[in-house]
Amino acid sequence: MGGVWTRLKLAFASFFLILFRSRLPAALQQAAAPVAPPIPTPDLTPPSAILDDADRAVQMIALLQRDGRLIDFLMEDLASYNDAQIGAAVRDVHDACRRALDRYVTLEPILDGREGEPATVADRIDPAAIRLVGNVTGQPPFRGTVLHRGWRASRVDLPDLAGTGARRVVAQAEIEVA
């Protein structure tokens, strides 16, 4: 089961990396795996665009919640459920979230190879697209094994954002009035 959760975590990290223009918030970064030092690039993003990036990230999370109840599932304590119950819930959440993602974002793999296959990384490495882990020494080209193909958004078509107060709401609280 660890493999599925690891892949889900990597998918979310990649998704947020795309939304935050390669500036993943510290709370979402993985510190466990050693990585090659990134090539420094100047930050030319105006402060107003950073706010818009955060708004868009919350909007995408809200769409996944609305259509697939993803946040409800992730915030649920699964300790009291058996594997069959979790599996049934995962299937429903997965199907609904995938439909929502397909509706608003087109994803394509960064690498063509399959996981577990050998790969060679050329002289120029885009640190936003490829992370080298393991025994990273010397100069490129580097030879290794594909651990994850990565994902890149080739199309993002989110609906217009609502007013500023609603931009931080992932899911409205609901009250049934008797």
Residue-level pLDDT at 26: 53
Q: Residues 153-173: pLDDT tens digits?
A: 999 998 887 666 667 788 888
Q: Residues 29-72: pLDDT tens digits?
A: 444 344 555 655 555 555 444 456 788 888 999 999 999 999 99
What does the alpha-carbon distance between residue 124 and residue 144 come to, in Å, rounded to a whole number? 16
Phi-psi map region of 21: left, alpha, beta (phi>0 left; psi -120 to 50 alpha): left
What does the alpha-carbon distance between residue 25 and residue 12 come to, in Å, rounded to a whole number? 12
Specify the higher pLDDT residue, 33 or 118: 118
Q: Please give the model's pTM, rounded to 2 decimal places.
A: 0.61
What does the alpha-carbon distance between residue 115 and residue 110 come to, in Å, rounded to a whole number? 12
